[in-house]
Amino acid sequence: MPHTRRYPSSERASRGSHQDRYRGRKHRRRRTPSISSSSDRERERRGGVHRREDSYLRSRSYDNRSSDRRPYDRRYCEGYRRLDYSRERERDRERERERERASYGRKGSRRKHKRRRRRTRSYSGSSSVSSDPDMSFYPTPTLLIVNTLGEGTFGRVVQCVDHHRGGARVALKIIKNVEKYKEAARLEINVLERINEKDPENKHLCVQMYDWFDYHGHMCISFELLALSTFDFLKDNNYVPYSIGQVRHMGYQICHAVKFLHDNKLTHTDLKPENILFVNSDYTITYNAEKKRDERIVKNTSVRVVDFGSATFDHEHHSTIVSTRHYRAPEVILELGWSQPCDVWSIGCILFEYYQGFTLFQTHDNREHLAMMERIQGPIPSRMIRRTRKQKYFYHGRLDWDENSSAGRYVRENCKPLRRYVLSEAEEHHQLFDLIEGMLEYEPSKRLTLAGCLRHPFFFPLREGGLGADQSGNKTWEGNRDISR
């Protein structure tokens, strides 16, 4: 069973027991100030509005410097805590963007980027606009805000009644009037418009954007309303893993959706369970006599892929750092350049997490991450080691890693060869791990493509029983029947 582990401040930090080190550290995330009106807040208190994470909210915070914070706790398998590493990811991306801005200065000079203050004209004529979205307004005459679904550093997501769509419920993502968030929103809108253009009937299981507009400097994006993310359902279910049939159906849909992106020269770059949402997360409850507890079983495993804020076209500049730590491919860590195969690696990590209930790579550090990969998948290919610019992680062509250090013991005790994680000797379980092994191939050129994944024997029951059949044989989704050819 994986153990709780502290996020160390440096490699030279003194090491005691990981329980003692972790006890002194609190993992927190930023708490965005409330932006609802007093009447909305009062109604929420009286009615007990159910707050949940939605498709358009990053569940890992990017900002931990605010004084207004709350504890952030994720438990894995009765005490196994999943850490929040998005702050590291965002800092890496910010540094990369700063270097890129500097390199694009006039006449090739590397000038230090100076942020300019920009004024946005609001509809009311005010010369200054708050950076926080104001929930007391009606964005358009046809949209009526009902309640808040979630909030994050970028802004918040609210549920609205769209009278233009006959009173249908939609999710409205309201972006803060901060230039970096607005620019990210523009990039996401560009990707979503391409998806709508290529898939007007929404057959390829990517979240559908209905509309977007600018309100007083706040970018607003209207989406179809979805249910809980696959991670939130897992968390609410005490990290009881999904059944093998559920893993098969969700995995097939994810591969299908991301293959559609790859076919249109897009790489998602941030695939994780938080960005895979159920269309409907209703469930039944069964009693587990062995563990003496109730467990939830989702009724419908139809899912959608969401959050295209980091999606990148093939012709666009590729940042050095992409993906959330747990799902980051080795070529990204070694800065060897990345493309669509990095998404395949992420999907392999996601399928393992669905199957076991916890992450495969529970770490925050590049060197330790590589050590875990070697423990699980075997030695890193020498060709990749020779090509990488990160030679500080290697010595004489091998990973520079002390097996006898506390970090080495942690990896040795909590990681094991991939096949030893199989929970049953049934053929379908071994087929799943054969698929995951192909997805977690070190060399991107040798890694399974998503077209190959869809043809894998693990998915044969879905192909034979109809692409819309879930683990119980119920028809839940109509896909494109040509995708597995």
- Point out the residues that are catalytic: 270
Q: In whole angstroms, what is the distance from residue 17 CA to residue 15 CA? A: 7
- Among 324, 345, 321, which Cα is nearest to 254's? 345
Query: For 451, how many CA atoms within 13 A lie in the half-sphere containing its CB?
Result: 6
DSSP secondary structure of 11-50: TTS----HHHHHHT---EEE-PPP-S-HHHHHHHHHHT--
What values do phi and psi take at 132, rounded to 5? Answer: -95, 135
Is 232 exposed, middle or buried (CB count within 10 Å of its CB: 0-12, 13-18, 19+)? Answer: buried
Q: Is 176 annotated as a binding residue?
A: no
- The kind and range of the H/E element at 276 are strand 276-278
Helices in 316-469 by DSSP H: which ranges? 330-333, 341-356, 366-377, 382-387, 406-414, 427-439, 450-454, 460-465
| Residue whose token pair is 């060399």 | 443
Q: In whole angstroms, what is the distance from residue 469 CA to residue 451 CA? A: 19
Cross-strand bridge partners of residue 267: 312
Instruction: Take residue 21 and report the two structure tokens written for it.
Output: 């080190």
Q: In whole angstroms, what is the distance from residue 329 CA to residue 441 CA? A: 10
Q: In whole angstroms, what is the distance from residue 195 CA to residue 173 CA? A: 18
- Among 65, 54, 75, which Cα is nearest to 28's? 65
Q: In whole angstroms, what is the distance from residue 104 CA to residue 116 CA? A: 16
Instruction: Take residue 92 and report the two structure tokens written for it.
Output: 């890496």
Q: What's the Cα-to-Cα distance from 121 to each of 125, 137, 213, rounded to whole Å?
A: 7, 17, 14
Instruction: Take residue 46 and report the two structure tokens written for it.
Output: 């009286």
How many of the other CB atoms lie within 10 Å of CB of 247? 24
**Counting every residue, how long is the chain?**
485
Coil, strand, or helix at residue 406?
helix
Residues within the annotated binding site? 173
Residues within the annotated binding site for ATP? 173
